[in-house]
A and B are shown apart, each in its own frame.
Chain A
Amino acid sequence: MTRFPVIRKTLGRCLIIGIVLLFLFIALFPLFWIFIGSLHPTADLLQARVTFPPAHITLDHYQTLFHAQYGVKLFVRYIKNSLMVGLSVACLTIAIAGFGAYGLSRYRFWGSETMSRIMLFVYVFPQSLILVPIYVLLAHFRLIDSHFGLIITHTALVAPFCTWLLRSFFEAIPRELEEAAAVEGANWLQILIHVLLPLASPGVVTAGIYALVVSWGEYMFAVNLLMSGAKWTVPAGLATYMTEQAIEWGQLLAGTVLTAVPILIIFLPFAKYFLRGFLEGALK
């Protein structure tokens, strides 16, 4: 083989592309199949006769989801709630993580390095353990069953990781720029907002998207902190379709598609930005 380097190189390339394609198939096919399944009539679903392209295409399941107003099933409402909570979490996280990361990257104080590590260390505590104290804490402030309570909880979940991510972006920015701005008479807040945040924008976008993704998918807190169905986020609402006696597969699959699609629509345009931000910031 070594005598034919061209053949060897081509074989290597085929192997690499083969590996990537296999992984992409495993990653994407199940989701694609859910989408195809959601277009099938119930009769076909119950007999496992899901085919591509579908023999009979129907949008009935989506229509039921959009128009159903009975009980607690208000799917459009869930999506609105989730968007509202997710975007608030993203903004709040950027604000908090921005200040935190700025402090950690620019000021050397006793314990600052330990504190950066603690940003990751806090994730060792199991969610099932912190659920109860957070519930009790929020109950004290009468924030159970309120979106604000969920927003600050989600922010608390993602802010440490985002702080840690943003810190490396701030550290990459030369101090001379800040000094120049200070000479011009800018104070630290102006420097942060007008100099550092724009220069660290890949990091800011990455942190915001990360916060949004986590908040959009978070289930355990959403279902335990929100009581009334009208306030539920998508995961909490969708899960109720799963716990029924006889599962309505069509509606469940359509609901799954409607849960996955909004976050894909938000994520994909930023994906390249996110990837670059993550690849640059995650390990520094």
Chain B
Amino acid sequence: MTRAGVNEYVGLFNYQKVLSSSLFYQAVVNSLRWTGLSLAIQLSVPLILALALNQRFWGNSLARVLMLVPWIMPTVVVAIMLRWLMEPNVGLINHLLLALSIIREPIDFLGRTQSAFLTLVCANSWQFLPFGTLLILAGLQTIPRDVLEAAWVDGAGVWQRFRYIIFPLLGPVIGFVFFLAFVWNFNTLGLIWLTTQGGPLNTTLTLPVLIYRRAFRGFAMGEAAAMGSLASVALMIVGVFYFKYLWKRPT
């Protein structure tokens, strides 16, 4: 609660400043869009992959190990991968799209306001998928096989077994993935900072990026701290809600 440089008590001055800046609201909206879109991808896709990996087939354990690879990759690697593959002149994606005549001119995926956001969401999800899949797989393994077999004997189809047995039993796990993914996505900083730094035209400026920018580029520590506190309070509410109402420890 101090002004930059001098340790003088300024009351709610920084909050006032933050709450009256339109950039803050833009960052909040971006953060919500970022988290919402990421969650939609990161809850549905791992569920499909985990259901597939929970079946017995040749090479299953190798597939599980290889699937983990994106998750252990450093953020810098993901950022460089993205910048190289999506680059307008030297990148593979543009090269392929041009060769297949899908586009006429190269697209600067990370430089255009229409595409930067979605491109980053995809790259971010690419890295989270293994972790989500792993957790859901752990949940699937707690479902006893004989229950599923009993249902199968009683004539329940694939969809019915999923809808009435797997999905309800998986509820707590999905809640858990939801919580971790929510927090992880809301706080994503490294990938955005290493690629667009919030640009173009602030379309990828999420709250953590704005906080980091204000603190380490603008040296407005007070403002950064005020925004950080507001973000923390919002996330704490989500956290308290999760642990109070959704948290179940399977025994």
- A: residues with CB less than 8 A from B are 12-13, 16-17, 19-20, 23-24, 26-28, 30-31, 33-34, 37, 45-48, 50, 117, 120-121, 123-129, 131-132, 213, 216-220, 224, 234-235, 238-239, 242, 249, 252-253, 256, 259-260, 263-264, 267-268, 271-272, 274-275, 278-280, 282-284
Contact = CB atoms under 8 A, between A and B. Distances in A.
A282 B132 CA distance: 11
B91 interface: yes
Contact of B75 (A13, A219, A274): A219
Interface of B: 48-49, 52-53, 55, 57, 61, 63-77, 79-81, 83-85, 89-92, 94-95, 126, 129-130, 134-135, 137-139, 141-142, 158, 172-173, 176, 179-180, 183-184, 186-187, 189-190, 193-194, 207-209, 211-212, 215-216, 221, 224-225, 228-229, 231-232, 235-236, 238-239, 243, 247, 249-250
**Residue of B75, B84, B158 ringed by the most chain A CB atoms within 10 A:** B84
B134 A16 contact: no
Top 8 A-B residue pairs of the complex, sorted by shortest distance between their CB atoms: A217-B74, A129-B228, A124-B235, A128-B211, A128-B212, A271-B65, A235-B76, A128-B208
Given A124-B239, A252-B80, 4 more contacts: A128-B224, A129-B229, A242-B79, A275-B61
B80 A242 contact: yes
A117 B243 CA distance: 7
Contacts of A253: 80, 84
A69 B151 CA distance: 66
Nearest to A268: B65
Contacts, number: 201
B215 A128 contact: yes
Contact of A238 (B76, B84, B225): B76
B42 to A, nearest CB: 13
Given A217-B75, A263-B74, A279-B134, A126 B187 contact: yes
A214 to B, nearest CB: 9
A138 B24 CA distance: 29
16 contacts: A13-B55, A23-B67, A30-B81, A31-B73, A120-B180, A121-B236, A124-B232, A124-B236, A124-B238, A125-B232, A126-B211, A126-B231, A131-B215, A274-B68, A279-B134, A284-B249
Nearest to B184: A123
A278 B63 contact: no
B69 A31 contact: yes
Contacts of B229: 129
A128 B227 CA distance: 10
A283 B207 contact: no
Contacts of B71: 213
A271 B69 CA distance: 10
A217 B90 contact: no
B52 A19 contact: yes
A219 B74 contact: yes
B224 A132 contact: yes
Contacts of B95: 48
A224 B215 CA distance: 12
A279 B141 contact: yes
Contact of B73 (A132, A260, A282, A283): A260
